[in-house]
Amino acid sequence: MRITAQGVVHTAEPGSARAVACFPSLTVLPGGDLLAVYRAGLSKAASDSVIEIRRSADCGRTWTEPESPFQTVFGGVGGALQVVYVTVLAPDHLLACGLWVDLEAHPGKPLFNEATEGCLPMKILLADSRDRARTWSPWRELPVPAGVGPPSLTSPVARLGDGRLAVSIETNKNYDDASPWLQRVVHCYSYDDGRTWTPPHTVTADPSGRIFHWDQRLGVSPDGVVGAFSWTYDKPANRYLPIRRHLSHDHGATWITDVLPFADQPSHPAVLPSGRIVLAWVDRYQSRSIRARMAASIAAPFDPETEVVLYEAPGCANRTADTGELLADMSTWSFGLPYAEALPDGDAMVVYYAGAPDRMEIRWARLSL
């Protein structure tokens, strides 16, 4: 595997409302055009940040000017969109799934409460487009029970082999809740292309509260095997563990887990029609880089001979004393969140953000397999 081309989706505009871009994703539209979606604002945590969309008709060489089609007011309450993913359900049907943060419940407070490890109220929102992402229906909420807490969206809606849709959600604590955090990952399913959803089904959890499975990324192989890749954290030790891969051969009903030989934060996987898979990841505390490897299938080993380096950051990583500090420190990270996607010609593309705390851009790299 090698990098054959790379470039920039969004160039930082220092000092402006578009100085910092982060949290990118990539969707291949019917016909082959690319849709890049990301968040842009004055800072990574700016409350007035917006979600932007850009398009490319030439595999990333050029991109259109940004569009900002998504409203940040929901139910009459002012908020912010943390991330939006777009899934192709049919040639004429796109589904956007977004994580919305309520900014009025605790005015002026940061997303994470460092003292309690709770977070601001959040909702999972959905919208449909029938014109290739030019216009969208109003947001509607994907309901989750109170026991989930403020839900975190960690991956785009995925089409399973049995036809259902699945959305991966992390549980959280309410902002002022000082009780122990027993984190888990749940899936909700839809049998009607996103109109209604089942109650949550737990996928990963550690009843002891020691191991957290953050930012779980879903991929579905051509033969229907579901792979979920977790950013794995040992809470008492305050350290990241190697990425865990969770596999389901029955459309999410049961799971088996293995450990990959690298850490720490995995990307959305690019799954090719051949079954091969490309996974990128961020290593913030050792090599301070973004890398990618390929495997022959979603359940196969990731061959170290295929590894490529997409980005290397200068300097040393900050070490945090506890989970609260770690969550607060996330707002200052200036590179990361790679997202891999398969391209129609058999290559893969990875988008990610990189730069400095006051200026971050969205970059892309094309990988030939």
CA distance 131 to 327: 38
Q: Once rounded to an integer, what is the mean pLDDT over residues 241-268? A: 97
Q: Which domain holds residue 25?
A: 2-368
Domain of 326, CATH number, reads: 2.120.10.10
* Segment 111-159, tens digit of pLDDT: 999 999 999 999 999 999 999 999 999 999 999 999 999 999 999 999 9
Per-residue pLDDT, 285: 85
For the cut 60, the answer to whether the pLDDT of residue 32 exceeds it is yes
Q: What is the tally of structural domains in the chain? A: 1
CA 235 to chain centroid: 21
CA distance 34 to 25: 10
Per-residue pLDDT, 56: 98
Q: Poorest-confidence range of 128-142, 159-173, 311-325?
A: 311-325
Buried b (16+ CB within 10 A) or exposed e, 56-82: beebbeebeebeebbbbebeeeebbbb
State the pLDDT confidence band at 314, using cuts at 50, 70 and 90. confident
Contact between 205 and 261 under an 8 Å Cβ cutoff? The reply is: no
Per-residue pLDDT, 333: 85
For the cut 70, the answer to whether the pLDDT of residue 317 exceeds it is no
Q: Once rounded to an integer, what is the mean pLDDT over residues 355-360? A: 95
User: Which residues make beta-bridge pairs with 101?
Assistant: 80, 122
Per-residue pLDDT, 9: 98
Per-residue pLDDT, 231: 96
Averaged pLDDT of the chain? 95
CA distance 39 to 46: 10
Q: What's the DSSP call for residue 302?
A: E
CA distance 303 to 205: 28
**% residues pLDDT > 70 (the chain):** 95
Q: For residues 26 and 239, which has the higher predicted lDDT (pLDDT)? A: 26
Per-residue pLDDT, 327: 60
